[in-house]
Amino acid sequence: MILARWMLCFALLAPTAVLAQDSRSGAPASSEEEPSVSPPPLVSAPGEAADTSSQEEAPPRGESIPYSYPGDALDEFQPPGRPGLPTVGRITLEIMGGAAAGALSGLVAFLAAEALSGGSCGDDPGCIITGLGMTAGAIFFTAPLGVYAVGQLAGGQGSYWTSLLGMAVGTGAGGIMVAVFSNKSGELQLASIVTLPILGAVLGYELWNAHQQPDIVRPARTGATGASLQLIPLAGITPGGGVFGGIAARF
């Protein structure tokens, strides 16, 4: 009886073992037997590729230490599109421009005064004073205008009003010189009353021009190109006991 039970259990379990073995043998092959397929390479868009290559090739941009070169600092003084002349050349042109403007306006004013008087002033003091006043007034206001116009064209930054003030100071100095040299020759008096007002107008223009320049440390220069103008008033006594004065310029 017991043997029959064991035989029955064996008969029932045998097909199950065979089915399990068949299922294992019929399983699909492992991944090792399958052919290996590599993934396709990653390709970026043309624009992105160009940007990436430029970023990789371009070296890093660093910051340099701030430094101002002397040439660049001096170039800032020149007006844009109009190079300035050297100081000596500008002052020479200003003197010529002021003298020309004063002489032309004085001649026009004198002719106008003669026309108004009909050319018959004679010894009439009123007519003479009127003519001289018109001539002197025209010279006084137009000579600084000539200095200012030529200075601006030459690259200066002065002012007409400072030039006019310098003209007034120069005229006063010329009047003093005429009074001092009243007992001397008339040529010296004429030279004083003609030259000092023009020099005063130029001096007033140049002083304001120097005031307009920014305060920077200028590099040391040698030679005539780097020379600066220096004006020094002079006064002294002549061997004959007279007094003289003027302005000395150093370039």
Answer for the pair 141, 197: CB distance below 8 angstroms, yes or no: no
pLDDT at res. 88: 87
CA-CA distance, 173 to 196, in Å (whole number)? 7
In tens, the pLDDT along 78-98 reads 444 445 678 888 899 999 999
Summary count for the chain: helices (H), strands (E): 7, 2
Q: How many CB atoms within 10 Å of residue 64?
A: 5
Q: How many CB atoms within 10 Å of residue 6?
A: 9
Q: How far apart are the first and last CA of the chain?
A: 146
In tens, the pLDDT along 110-153 reads 888 888 877 677 677 777 788 888 888 899 999 999 999 999 99
Q: What is this structure's pTM?
A: 0.53
Domain ranges of the chain: 83-214
Q: Look at residue 152 and give its three-state secondary structure.
A: helix
pLDDT less than 70: residues of the chain: 1-84, 119, 122, 185, 214-229, 231, 233-236, 240-246, 249-251
Q: How many CB atoms within 10 Å of residue 171?
A: 20
- Encoding tokens for residue 76? 């800032």
